[in-house]
């Protein structure tokens, strides 16, 4: 098959581009070096759909953030992805900065902004510290599950004819009679046009494609993830006043009911996702300067992600050496928020008309943790495996895991199941359920249990003879 477009990179940006192209009827393939989509920066994202008041006016960041945020509610509803317009507060003690953000937001076309004095902030979040004197409220700010969003984008694409090739590390590229040949030594893909959306690995891929390289910079963001009920923040996303380099350490609700605290913004020479005592101490200090009820003792996990920067704006452009290649890099914050709009921007660069065709839609997921007892009993009467709890922390059943294993983009790792069902995301972080998940993966895929990995190919859980 000759594809219209090959997208290299299976983060939320690559998946959004794949989905949009599929929705207009193009034959597309997504090439991802990991064992699943959303295994890089996307899975370590804060999950904030920013309103758009922070980005400098008239930049791609500003324009695509605001446009993308408007597309999110409808898209998440279509894809059955957890999304909530919870509102955000930027708090601090410098009213001039707050007013500047407000004016910038108006320039960017953001609606629902309101400047608050201390009393107004207190009414929303009573636990603010004594040094907080003012704030900005952004009504349209929202939260989403970033990895579920990326997975759903890819899965809808797959049921409509797109192909996703996982464990694909590009090793060879050459001109073909009808486009370009991309190979990893095993698979050969022929495509007329190519979109490079690999984040921090851009220059490595560009070397193989003989495409433009950029001056990439990396910043590591470390996080705490707190247990459900760890602290009351009114359901909001709470930011400090931003700095030149970062939106700062935020404290936010998540769509799952947990609280996320972070990230840091630490310059890094590599895309290593380590966490450090220095970074975590910095998060604690900054969070405690905003709220008096920060309870990091309720932490259930620390993690980090690395964002890639190219100057002060996104890079989304035709390659200067080959106009059949579109480079998409430097997509740091607000990249998630902008992702649906980035996809439309790329569509235009590719020269395609934004005219969607009739497509198949994903079946809604059964999430038993959100159902009533009567609804669950009806499910169990039809399928008893809805009554077998595998993950006690999150209340995930055996049948939900089996459904995930047999979904359009069939997961093969324990972490891939975690992202689709939340099995293993609770207080014990999979300590009690991971073996059962492995057993179900092995059974459904008809493979040996010691072939099951935690994530990618080099993360086998069982090594050696377990008899």
Known catalytic residues are: 50
In sign, the C-alpha dihedral spanning 193, 198, 202, 207 is: negative
Report whether 259 contacts 233 (CB < 8 A).
Answer: yes
Q: Find the DSSP H helices in 245-372.
A: 277-290, 335-349
Nearest CA to 388 out of 400, 396, 397 is that of 397
Pairwise CA distance, residues 421 & 428, whole Å:
15
Report whether 209 contacts 49 (CB < 8 A).
Answer: no
Pairing of the two strands 396-397 and 299-309: unpaired
SS3 430: coil
CA angle 85, 86, 91 (to 5 degrees): 130
Report whether 335 contacts 52 (CB < 8 A).
Answer: no
Report whether 318 contacts 259 (CB < 8 A).
Answer: no
**CB within 8 A of 427, min separation 6: which ones?**
227, 300, 393
Pairwise CA distance, residues 48 & 143, whole Å:
5
Beta bridge partners of 315: 329
Q: Hey, what are 442's tokens?
A: 């092995």
Under DSSP, the state recorded for 227 is P
Strands (E), 280-420: 299-309, 315-318, 325-329, 389-391, 396-397
Report whether 114 contacts 137 (CB < 8 A).
Answer: yes
Pairing of the two strands 299-309 and 266-268: unpaired
Separate counts of helices (H) and strands (E) for the chain: 12, 22
Which DSSP helix (H) or strand (E) runs through 48?
A: strand 48-49
Half-sphere exposure of 164 (CA within 13 A, CB side): 33
């Amino acid at each position: 098959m000759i594809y219209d477009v090959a997208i290299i990179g299976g983060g939320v940006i690559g998946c959004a581009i794949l989905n949009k192209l599929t929705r207009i009827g193009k034959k597309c393939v997504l090439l991802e070096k990991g064992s699943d989509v959303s295994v890089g920066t996307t899975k370590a994202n804060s999950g904030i759909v920013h309103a758009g008041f922070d980005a400098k006016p008239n930049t791609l960041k500003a324009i695509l953030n605001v446009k993308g945020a408007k597309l999110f509610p409808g898209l998440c509803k279509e894809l059955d992805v957890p999304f909530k317009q919870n509102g955000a507060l930027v708090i601090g003690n410098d009213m001039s900065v707050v007013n500047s953000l407000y004016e910038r937001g108006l320039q960017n076309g953001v609606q629902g902004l309101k400047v608050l004095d201390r009393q107004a902030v207190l009414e929303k979040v009573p636990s603010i510290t004594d040094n907080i004197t003012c704030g900005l409220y952004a009504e349209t700010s929202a939260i989403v599950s970033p990895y579920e969003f990326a997975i759903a984008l890819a899965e809808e694409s797959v049921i409509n004819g797109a192909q996703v090739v996982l464990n694909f590390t590009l090793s060879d590229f050459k001109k073909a009679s009808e486009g370009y040949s991309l190979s990893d030594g095993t698979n050969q893909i022929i495509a007329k046009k190519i979109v490079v959306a690999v984040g921090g690995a851009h220059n490595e891929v560009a070397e193989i494609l003989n495409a433009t390289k950029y001056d990439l910079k990396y910043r590591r963001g470390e996080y705490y993830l707190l247990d459900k009920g760890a602290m009351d923040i009114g359901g909001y996303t709470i930011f400090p006043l931003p700095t030149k380099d970062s939106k700062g350490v935020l404290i936010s609700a998540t769509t799952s009911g947990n609280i996320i605290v972070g990230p840091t913004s630490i310059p890094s020479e590599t895309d290593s996702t380590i966490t450090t005592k220095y970074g975590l101490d910095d998060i604690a200090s900054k969070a405690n300067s905003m709220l008096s009820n920060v309870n990091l003792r309720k932490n259930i996990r620390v993690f980090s992600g690395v964002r890639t920067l190219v100057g002060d704006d996104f890079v989304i452009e035709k390659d200067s050496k080959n106009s059949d290649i579109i480079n998409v890099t430097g997509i740091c914050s607000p990249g998630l928020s902008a992702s649906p709009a980035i996809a439309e921007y790329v569509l235009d660069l590719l020269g395609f008309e934004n005219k969607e065709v009739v497509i198949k839609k994903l079946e809604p997921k059964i999430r038993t943790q959100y159902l009533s007892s009567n609804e669950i009993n009806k499910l169990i009467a039809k399928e008893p495996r809805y009554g077998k709890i595998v993950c006690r922390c999150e209340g995930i059943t055996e049948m939900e895991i089996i459904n995930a294993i047999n979904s359009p983009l069939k997961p093969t790792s324990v972490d891939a199941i975690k992202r689709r069902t939340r099995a293993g995301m609770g207080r014990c972080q999979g300590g009690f359920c991971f073996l059962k998940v492995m057993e179900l993966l092995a059974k459904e895929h008809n493979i040996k249990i010691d072939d099951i990995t935690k994530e990618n190919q080099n993360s086998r859980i069982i090594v050696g003879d377990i008899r």
